[in-house]
Amino acid sequence: MDKDYLYKMSADELQSKTIDFLRFPLIVGVVFIHTDFSDIVMTGVKQTTVENYPLFYHFFILVSKIIFNARVPLFFFFAGFLFFYKTAGFSMEIYLQKLKNRVRSLLIPYVFWNLLVILFLMLAQTFLSGSLVSGRNKLITDYSFLDWLWSFWDTSQVNPHLKKTLPINSPFWFIRDLMVLVLLSPLVYFLIKKLKAYAVVILGLIWFFNPYFYWPGLSTVSFFFFAAGAYFGVFRKNFVSMMKPLLPVVVLLYLLLIFVIFYTIDSKWWDYVYCVSVCLGLVLAVSLTAECIQKGKWHVSRLLTNAAFFIFAYHRIPLVFVIKFLFKLVRPQSDLMLLFLYLFAPILIIVLGLLSYSFLKQWFPRFTAIICGGR
């Protein structure tokens, strides 16, 4: 791209384009990480042990534990930044208006997509009980009223064998936690205004020493990265301008860290290495994207950006059934076959998501806007 293009793009425009561009690749990362073969159960039988296939296992670690491990922190960072960006103060009136806006963008899609998954699973448990369902979960037809309520917040209350406190549409734990953060946004604003960067440092240290602390609706990772983004939003600082010059150093550190991760993944140091890799990955994603956009190598696709939420919302259950169907069809017993399925399944789901979103957007635009939160 010519120099005129470079000259015309302001720092704020570059920041905006960086956020928009990253929405889709981060969702791709979400889909790939949910392509997990380690716990595939059909009719109560576990289908494979991935550690027995070292080539596939190490590739899976590279993708899920390294390349895409900053995806959720980045989303919380962006959410915190955009929530407070260009907000003059934080009065009760502004707070209530933001709550009203988030009912449309967060709460309505949250209820719709979780309810859709409940109905889908009920049909699957009724008609596929002998083949593609795990057989471990309580039948939805046996749900009590409280079970229905818990399924929108924490399904481990319904199925105690589940180790994670997730809603029934599991990726929507991010939306659940984000809604809690929106409710707590006056507290976040107060901390940022009073303590400034010290608030971010304190919350960062709490996360660093407790990276896996989760309550249903609140976690150290969500609070820290939302607050970190809020810091840049409240004080109107351009995080791209700060991170972009760090690109050469971050690339070098990240490459070195890859080797460290493979040696520490099962050690007592893993939690700390994981936190460092998330922070480096966040800065690398932002700085690399900004660099390539500014130089005209990468461009924001409206279709991909707009479809990102739809793919995030719909992908989990179809992905699970596609994986189970493929395992039942080909019964993989080699590294290469597992690698093929690991690449094929998420790509198929993403392509189907793009096609479905395009169809709905063309023929049912108002409905699509509602279920995607106006995105």
- Please tell me the predicted confidence (pLDDT) of residue 71: 92
Helices marked H in 315-364 — which ranges? 316-330, 335-363
Instruction: Give the pairing of strands 45-46 and 41-42.
Output: antiparallel
Asked if residues 87 and 94 have their Cβ atoms less than 8 Å apart, the reply is yes
- Please tell me the predicted confidence (pLDDT) of residue 167: 96
Half-sphere exposure at residue 67, Cβ-oriented, CA atoms within 13 angstroms: 16
pLDDT digits (tens, 9 = 90+) for 49-85: 777 888 998 898 888 878 899 999 999 999 999 999 9
- Please tell me the predicted confidence (pLDDT) of residue 137: 78
| pTM passes above 0.95 | no
Instruction: Considering only the C-alpha atoms of the chain, give the largest distance between any 2 of them, rounded to a whole number of Å.
Output: 65
Q: How far apart are CA 258 and CA 261, in angstroms?
A: 5
- Please tell me the predicted confidence (pLDDT) of residue 41: 63
Q: What tokens appear for 38 in the block?
A: 């380690």
Q: What tokens appear for 147 in the block?
A: 């079970």
**Concatenated DSSP letters for 205-268?**
HHHHH-TT-EETTEEHHHHHHHHHHHHHHHTT--HHHHHGGGHHHHHHHHHHHHHHHHHHTTST
Q: How far apart are CA 147 and CA 141, in angstroms?
A: 11
Question: Which amino acid is present at 42?
Answer: M
Tell me the mean pLDDT per 10 residues along the chain, length 375.
Answer: 57 96 97 85 62 87 86 97 88 94 96 95 74 69 92 92 88 97 97 96 96 92 98 96 97 91 80 93 97 95 96 94 87 90 96 97 96 90
Query: Which phi and psi (to 5°) does residue 35 adopt?
Result: -85, 75
Q: How far apart are CA 39 and CA 136, in angstroms?
A: 12
Asked if residues 232 and 239 have their Cβ atoms less than 8 Å apart, the reply is yes
- Please tell me the predicted confidence (pLDDT) of residue 2: 45
Query: Which phi and psi (to 5°) does residue 218 adopt?
Result: -155, 135
